[in-house]
């Protein structure tokens, strides 16, 4: 297959692109900087250097690509950008692909925050998202636009809270621990739905390879078990040597509400349809490794 990854040097995009390379596929990666392009080339990912919203720079490849992965994240205008990316790809695919060509597969990266915050109800991939976290409420509609696009074979993957490597959204928590104090957004008694970035990458690969069977599906990407937020912080005090006890900071911003959210997630769809099974130790069990990985990637080890 030929795969094009938007956000190829990002926390989701890079491990996903590496997984495709390892599986023998031809991988193109869109990235902003020349330095990152060099890193991609060293990983056998063919770099395309441009801003992701310079559509003409990369939509020209869509005539012959099999799968496009939107792994763009972390920008303030992500809502508008996500919608614009989808319509640019849909329009270019319509124009550039032969009438008999198989539909271009479009894998959109959403997130499990669309399930909202609930400490009593267990949810799964197919639970309706009626109370999403306000920060990401717009993603519910975006997911529907992706799977209902008439030109594309749309698939949605919703990563849970990510861990591993450079730490993603947990990096600031690790940083506070390294400075001697563990303080994070939340209240006692919450639970995290979590996924390691390498397990997530394996799901992108499986979804892409079986895209002709699973078009229109939305997959939650999370471990089989949730983890106690208090356990995570307690363990972080232990592995970092920070001065305990840990402290909860009352969330006062939609982003902090999202970080603090509890999702009792029991995903089944990717296991049932794609044979996917996360393999990594959980966040608490593997925390000394994950904390050391964050330290090393932050240049502190």
Ligand X SMILES: *[C@@H]1O[C@H](CO)[C@@H](O)[C@H](O)[C@H]1NC(C)=O
Give me the residues that bind ligand X (CB under 6 A), please: 50, 54, 56-57, 118, 120-121, 131
State the minimum distance, in angstroms, from the CB of residue 60 to ligand X. Answer: 8
76 vs 130 by CB, closer to ligand X:
130
Q: Whole-angstrom Cα distance, residue 294 to residue 165? A: 6
CB atoms within 10 A of CB 12: 26
118 vs 289 by CB, closer to ligand X:
118
Q: Whole-angstrom Cα distance, residue 60 to residue 75? A: 24
State the minimum distance, in angstroms, from the CB of residue 115 to ligand X. Answer: 10
Q: Whole-angstrom Cα distance, residue 187 to residue 245? A: 14
The total number of residues shown for the chain amounts to 301
* Alpha-carbon torsion (60, 62, 67, 70), positive or negative: positive
1 vs 50 by CB, closer to ligand X:
50
State the minimum distance, in angstroms, from the CB of residue 253 to ligand X. Answer: 19
State the minimum distance, in angstroms, from the CB of residue 119 to ligand X. Answer: 7
DSSP SS3 for 280 = coil
Strand locations in the chain (E): 2-6, 26-31, 46-49, 67-70, 105-109, 118-123, 153-159, 161-163, 181-185, 191-192, 194-196, 218-221, 227-228, 243-249, 263-265
121 vs 247 by CB, closer to ligand X:
121
- Give the list of residues 6+ apart from residue 124 with CB closer than 8 angstroms, or none: 220, 265, 266, 267, 268, 269
38 vs 279 by CB, closer to ligand X:
38
State the minimum distance, in angstroms, from the CB of residue 212 to ligand X. Answer: 31
193 vs 284 by CB, closer to ligand X:
193
Query: 263-265 and 118-123: which strand pairing?
Result: parallel
Residue with tokens 């297959």: 1
State the minimum distance, in angstroms, from the CB of residue 6 to ligand X. Answer: 14
């Amino acid at each position: 297959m030929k795969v094009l990854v938007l956000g190829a040097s990002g926390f989701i995009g890079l491990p996903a692109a590496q997984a495709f390379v390892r599986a023998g596929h031809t991988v193109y990666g869109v990235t902003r900087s020349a330095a990152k392009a060099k890193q991609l080339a060293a990983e056998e990912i063919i770099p395309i250097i441009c801003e992701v919203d310079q559509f003409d720079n990369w939509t020209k490849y869509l005539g012959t690509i099999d799968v496009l992965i939107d792994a763009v994240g972390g920008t303030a205008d992500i809502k508008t950008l996500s919608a614009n990316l989808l319509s640019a790809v849909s329009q270019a695919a319509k124009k550039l692909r032969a009438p008999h060509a198989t539909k271009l597969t479009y894998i959109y990266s959403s997130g499990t925050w669309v399930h909202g915050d609930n400490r009593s109800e267990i949810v799964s991939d197919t639970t309706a998202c009626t109370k999403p976290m306000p920060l990401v409420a717009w993603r519910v509609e975006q997911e529907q636009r992706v799977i209902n696009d008439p030109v594309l074979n749309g698939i949605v993957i919703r990563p849970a809270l990510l861990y591993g490597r450079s730490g993603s959204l947990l990096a600031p928590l690790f940083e506070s621990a390294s400075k001697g104090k563990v303080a994070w957004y939340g209240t006692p008694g919450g639970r995290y739905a979590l996924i390691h970035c390498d397990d997530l990458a394996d799901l992108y690969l499986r979804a892409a390879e079986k895209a002709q069977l699973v078009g229109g599906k939305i997959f939650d990407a999370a471990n089989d078990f949730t983890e106690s937020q208090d356990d995570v912080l307690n363990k972080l005090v232990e592995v970092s040597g920070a001065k305990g006890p840990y402290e909860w900071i009352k969330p006062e911003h939609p982003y902090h509400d999202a970080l603090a959210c509890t999702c009792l997630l029991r995903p089944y769809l990717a296991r049932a349809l794609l044979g996917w099974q996360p393999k990594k130790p959980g966040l608490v069990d593997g925390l000394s490794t994950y904390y050391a990985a964050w330290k090393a990637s932050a240049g502190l080890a």
